[in-house]
């Protein structure tokens, strides 16, 4: 007989699985290969071997969704069964618009609701960051401002409703305040990390793993912290689908003369006309061109 569980942390081939009653135990996957990620619902069995692992993961239940990135060498999964992604950005260090776009495309492709939060809104650099985020607001992305460290009360008031009753993954480069957010919303986070580190015997490596935190377990409110990333490959995206995963471009595809328009050089292109009118920002169109070239190269390998 197998029992249900939730994967709340992973390190190598060892996983922390939480039972419906809230007990956590260390499990390993059946077989050599494991596709488990944080957020997976699994079926497990006790090992009965008295070893360091207490259970074996026999099966992963069907996922609602999976957020991952893929470059030419490997695929890196963030988490599964998400209700929302919060992309945390800042003006110091200034966020990369290309990385933000890539995260939004991956979320759109996975069918996961996403919003952007500009942290450190009290700093002078925030004005430029707001300017860079204007096209995203304009195309319908939910964008918020906050200063987690300097106005904890306002930050709590913002994130409370954003997180309530959902499983939310926080994405963003290092230095944007993800750890500060976790500590604000989950005061016992350090204790949770310590328990997981001890169980996985992973020590310092836990900062490079994805972890699940309960903000309010009875209400089903959970926050998943992910490691900061420098690159966000989108090799899983077919280049023909790319414009449809970018809402500002998608809005003008129907105006193109040719059904298979690449929006690069064809005459009668609705997307390029929108760029000229100022309906699509030049930076967004430039990023589209870079991604188009990158994905075209990968499709020909």
Indicate if 41 and 158 belong to the same structural domain: no
In a domain, 252, yes or no: yes
Locate 125 and state its tokens. Answer: 């650099």
pLDDT value for 301: 57
Element housing 154 (H / E): helix 152-163
Whether residue 4 is annotated as binding a ligand: the answer is: no
Locate 207 and state its tokens. Answer: 């900062």
pLDDT value for 49: 61
Indicate if 201 and 285 belong to the same structural domain: no
Report the CATH number at residue 269. Answer: 1.10.40.50
In a domain, 202, yes or no: yes
Locate 272 and state its tokens. Answer: 């390029």
Whether residue 26 is annotated as binding a ligand: the answer is: no
Indicate if 145 and 17 belong to the same structural domain: no
Q: Taking a C-beta distance cutoff of 8 angstroms, is the pair 49, 223 a contact?
A: no
Whether residue 110 is annotated as binding a ligand: the answer is: no
Indicate if 251 and 286 belong to the same structural domain: yes
pLDDT value for 88: 96
In a domain, 32, yes or no: yes
Owner of token pair 């956590």:
24
Last residue of a domain, one of 225, 247, 268: 225
Q: What is the DSSP string of 199-226?
A: HHT-GGGGGGS-EEEEEETTTTEEEEE-
In a domain, 105, yes or no: yes
Contacts of 80 by beta carbon, 8 Å cutoff, 6+ apart: 37, 38, 39, 40, 63, 64, 65, 66, 67
Indicate if 143 and 157 belong to the same structural domain: yes
Whether residue 103 is annotated as binding a ligand: the answer is: no
Report the CATH number at residue 46. Answer: 2.40.50.140
Whether residue 261 is annotated as binding a ligand: the answer is: yes
Report the CATH number at residue 124. Answer: 3.40.50.300
* Strands of 126-183, DSSP E: 142-145, 167-171
Whether residue 260 is annotated as binding a ligand: the answer is: no
pLDDT value for 201: 59
pLDDT tens sequence for the chain (301 residues) = 899 999 999 888 889 999 999 999 999 998 877 789 999 999 999 987 655 678 999 999 999 999 999 988 889 999 999 999 999 999 999 999 999 999 999 999 999 999 999 999 999 999 999 999 999 999 999 999 999 999 999 999 999 999 999 999 999 888 899 989 999 999 888 755 556 666 665 544 344 578 999 999 999 999 999 887 778 999 999 999 999 999 999 999 999 999 999 999 999 999 999 999 999 999 999 999 999 999 998 765 5
In a domain, 42, yes or no: yes
Q: Answer whether the bond into residue 67 is a cis peptide, omega within 30°.
A: no
Residue 285's domain comprises 239-299
CA dist 202 and 210 (Å) reads 13
User: Would you mind telling me the total number of residues written for the chain in this entry?
Assistant: 301
pLDDT value for 207: 45
In a domain, 232, yes or no: no
pLDDT value for 50: 57
pLDDT value for 208: 55
Whether residue 65 is annotated as binding a ligand: the answer is: no
Indicate if 151 and 181 belong to the same structural domain: yes
Whether residue 22 is annotated as binding a ligand: the answer is: no
Indicate if 72 and 174 belong to the same structural domain: yes
Structural Rg of the chain based on CA atoms: 21
Last residue of a domain, one of 191, 225, 259: 225
Indicate if 41 and 78 belong to the same structural domain: no
Whether residue 34 is annotated as binding a ligand: the answer is: no
Please count the structural domains in the chain. 3
Whether residue 174 is annotated as binding a ligand: the answer is: yes
Whether residue 121 is annotated as binding a ligand: the answer is: yes
Whether residue 173 is annotated as binding a ligand: the answer is: yes
Indicate if 141 and 258 belong to the same structural domain: no
Indicate if 74 and 217 belong to the same structural domain: yes
pLDDT value for 229: 73
pLDDT value for 204: 42
Whether residue 36 is annotated as binding a ligand: the answer is: no
Indicate if 175 and 44 belong to the same structural domain: no
CA distances from 176 to 81, 84, 88, 129, 139 (A): 24, 19, 6, 12, 23
In a domain, 233, yes or no: no
In a domain, 290, yes or no: yes
Three-class SS of residue 294?
helix
Last residue of a domain, one of 60, 75, 100: 60
pLDDT value for 73: 82
Indicate if 209 and 158 belong to the same structural domain: yes
- Supply φ then ψ for residue 101, to 5 degrees: -60, -45
- Supply φ then ψ for residue 113, to 5 degrees: -60, 140
pLDDT value for 30: 87
Locate 201 and state its tokens. Answer: 């015997």
Contacts of 225 by beta carbon, 8 Å cutoff, 6+ apart: 170, 178, 179, 182, 210, 211, 213
């Amino acid at each position: 007989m197998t029992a249900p569980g939730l994967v709340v942390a992973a390190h190598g081939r060892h996983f922390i699985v939480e039972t419906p009653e809230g007990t956590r135990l260390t499990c390993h996957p059946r077989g050599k290969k494991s596709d488990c990620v944080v957020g997976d619902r699994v079926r497990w069995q006790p090992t009965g071997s008295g070893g360091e692992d207490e259970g074996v993961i026999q099966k992963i239940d069907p996922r609602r969704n999976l957020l991952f990135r893929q470059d030419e060498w490997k695929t890196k999964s963030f988490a599964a069964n998400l209700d929302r992604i919060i992309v945390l950005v800042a003006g110091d260090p200034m966020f990369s618009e290309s990385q933000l776009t890539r995260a939004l495309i991956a979320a759109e492709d996975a069918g996961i609701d996403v919003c952007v939060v500009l942290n450190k809104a009290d700093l002078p650099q925030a004005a430029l960051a707001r300017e860079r985020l204007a096209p995203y607001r304009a195309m319908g992305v939910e964008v918020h401002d906050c200063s987690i460290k300097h106005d904890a009360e306002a930050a709590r008031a913002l994130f409370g409703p954003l997180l309530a009753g959902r499983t939310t993954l926080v994405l963003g480069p290092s230095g944007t305040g993800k750890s500060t957010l976790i500590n604000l919303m989950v005061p016992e986070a350090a204790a949770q990390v310590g328990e997981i580190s001890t169980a996985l015997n992973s020590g310092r490596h836990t900062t490079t793993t994805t972890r699940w935190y309960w903000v309010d377990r009875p209400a089903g409110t959970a926050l998943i912290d992910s490691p900061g990333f420098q690159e966000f490959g989108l090799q899983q995206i077919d280049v023909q689908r790319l414009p449809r995963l970018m809402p500002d471009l998608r809005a003008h595809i129907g105006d193109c003369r040719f059904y298979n328009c690449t929006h690069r050089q064809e005459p009668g292109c609705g997307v390029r006309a929108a760029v000229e009118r100022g309906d699509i920002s030049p930076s967004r169109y430039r990023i589209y061109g870079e991604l188009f070239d990158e994905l075209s190269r990968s499709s020909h390998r």
